[in-house]
Amino acid sequence: MVAPRTVRPVKGKIGKARKAVSPIAPHPESELKTQKSRAFDRDFERLCRERRKTIASYQEFLKKSRAPVAPESVLPFPKNLIAAAIYQELVDNPTHDRRTDLEIAYVQLESFIADKEYWILSEFKNAGILAQELAATGDPNNIAAAVRLLKKTKGDIAVRIQERISRKMRGRLKQIRKLCPEVRLAFS
């Protein structure tokens, strides 16, 4: 507990009364710093709770999700917020007991793509399945229809999307592994 400050009037050189501070009372600036420190600690703890809640929600979502690629709009929080939360958790707690799970979750964020791109991939996948079924019949008309179907879909765009997802996942993995290489060796 902080002792209250005692203030007493003192005569100065000019004869005016001025206030003198007792040497045993805390300095007003140190009290202000202590208050700011407490406020910072409260804010920091609140941010840590929110970060862990974001990560937990995302990990729970991943457990329920079965698709290798999904639209970004289905995530429980914005993709960049989840990425920042996981990254910061690993910075603050490099020896986190679930570090590998967090790294995987961080990398998996790249499998959540813009809705428009997701629908291009879905359309291409479905067209591929239908084309295989048509071609499997052996009927030349069906085979020709399968070829037309595949040409109609945006296959080249779908392939580029998949390549970009893969490239970004590798980039995230490198980024997270550079974060704390000495800890990484312990978990390998």
Task: List, for residues 33-44, the tens digit of each pLDDT value.
Answer: 566 666 666 777
Contacts 24+ apart (CB under 8 A), 26-34: 26/2, 31/2, 34/2
* pLDDT at res. 40: 60
> Who has greater pLDDT, 82 or 185?
82
Segment 134-150 shows an average pLDDT of 83
Compute the distance between CA of residue 134 and CA of residue 142 in angstroms, rounded to an integer. Answer: 5
Would you say residue 137 has pLDDT above 60? yes
What is the reported pLDDT for 41? 67
Domain residue spans in the chain? 39-187
pTM reported for the whole predicted model: 0.67
Answer whether residue 180 shows pLDDT above 50. Answer: yes
How open is the CA angle 82-88-62, to the nearest 5 degrees?
35
